[in-house]
Structure 1
């Protein structure tokens, strides 16, 4: 069974994308190189990462960080796992600011962890992207997008394109000078040319979407 390294050669990815897509390449030159993400080599705990992803959903970073801090204090640990979260009853976690739906999601994550359904890093190294998605999306509160972000930013998988992401689609609309945002299916089809480095293309698409927004917000000189 093949093992998947964490991270990829960004120079090779850059050269490939420049070669296969001239319009996209023009934007890449405008933005400049995107360096290797240091998180690709940093150790992390998938269960803890999923628990934090659940707590951060639909909240600003500051508000979510406050709730996470309260939970860590309540469980006397900075490791969010079934055994540590199990130190507190539902009422205590709700008092930390955890919503009812998120509490159910955390308990479901803990249950699946206890059953051995959440692969650790060693197991993930031998799993395909699709297999990791299939293993994690059954967890309540964990959707495909959340797993794709883990694949891209923590596992450093090279060929993930989050076609449901609004920023990805906005960036592509800008690249292709389209009047309407592409659908997820259109984004997937358009992105086939970027394989096997669609993750790196996604990093540029987010920046292109932000670049467009920043340009629109900057007043033009009247001189």
Structure 2
């Protein structure tokens, strides 16, 4: 059975074969080093909510205080979060909306709506998106990040992501923000490896940002 690294190599070969622009990005950036996290979907969504509208350092500080509410646990279980008073959750630095979202994630994990990793394997990408966007504070983009960076799904294209749009616009030399039609025209041939193509667009956008800062 091919490893995840084997799948990434196959993806790179496919993308380079079907798209000359992507072939150039792969050559310039190098091998894809996408490595899925081993978090559960519940933990991944909770962490994603903590990071919304905050820089990474601030979010990590708040998450550290949150986890510290539950001594002896690497990360709190859903029933522990639901048993914690709203005000106590607010005290670590979460906004009211974030506490509401985190409690809703915990409730839906307890009720089986947020699947375990094993359960998620039996659901396709769109099924997971439709199920999880019902959670307070969780939108399609958040679920797409879960699919790529936690579950390792290889055919996800987050067209609403700013980095993806910036990388695509620069790589394909568009004078305007790319439309859904632009993405479809270019990336249909990337299937079934659009997550890997997305990773290269992110890295391309990062490279342009770094050049501007020099």
TM-score, reference length from structure 1: 0.87
Residues of 2 paired with 1:119 and 1:128: CA distance?
12
Structure 2: gaps spanning 5 or more residues: none
For 1:52, the equivalent position in structure 2 comes to 47
Q: Deviations over 1:52-95 (max 9, x none)?
A: 11111111111111111111122333323321113421111111
Structure 1 pair 98–7 and aligned structure 2 pair: CA distance change class (3 A): farther
For 2:196, the equivalent position in structure 1 comes to 200
For 2:76, the equivalent position in structure 1 comes to 80
Residues of 2 paired with 1:8 and 1:197: CA distance?
13
Q: Deviations over 1:158-200 (max 9, x none)?
A: 1101100011111111111111120244324421121111011
- Displacement of 1:7 in angstroms is 7.2
How many residue pairs get aligned? The number is 211
Residues of 1 paired with 2:6 and 2:125: CA distance?
14
TM-score, reference length from structure 2: 0.90
1:4-19 paired onto structure 2 within 5 Å = 9-19=7-17
Residues of 2 paired with 1:24 and 1:46: CA distance?
30
For 1:65, the equivalent position in structure 2 comes to 60
Q: CA RMSD in A?
A: 1.9
1:138-177 paired onto structure 2 within 5 Å = 138-177=134-173
Are the counterparts in 1 of residues 154 and 195 from structure 2 also a CA contact under 8 Å? yes
Are the counterparts in 2 of residues 75 and 85 from structure 1 also a CA contact under 8 Å? no
For 1:96, the equivalent position in structure 2 comes to 92
Three-state SS of the structure 2 residue aligned to 1:35 is: coil
Are the counterparts in 2 of residues 133 and 144 from structure 1 also a CA contact under 8 Å? yes
Residues of 2 paired with 1:74 and 1:204: CA distance?
38
Residues of 2 paired with 1:168 and 1:217: CA distance?
19
Residues of 2 paired with 1:8 and 1:99: CA distance?
42
Residues of 1 paired with 2:158 and 2:98: CA distance?
23
Structure 1 pair 121–8 and aligned structure 2 pair: CA distance change class (3 A): farther
Q: Which moved more, 1:209-218 or 1:133-142?
A: 209-218
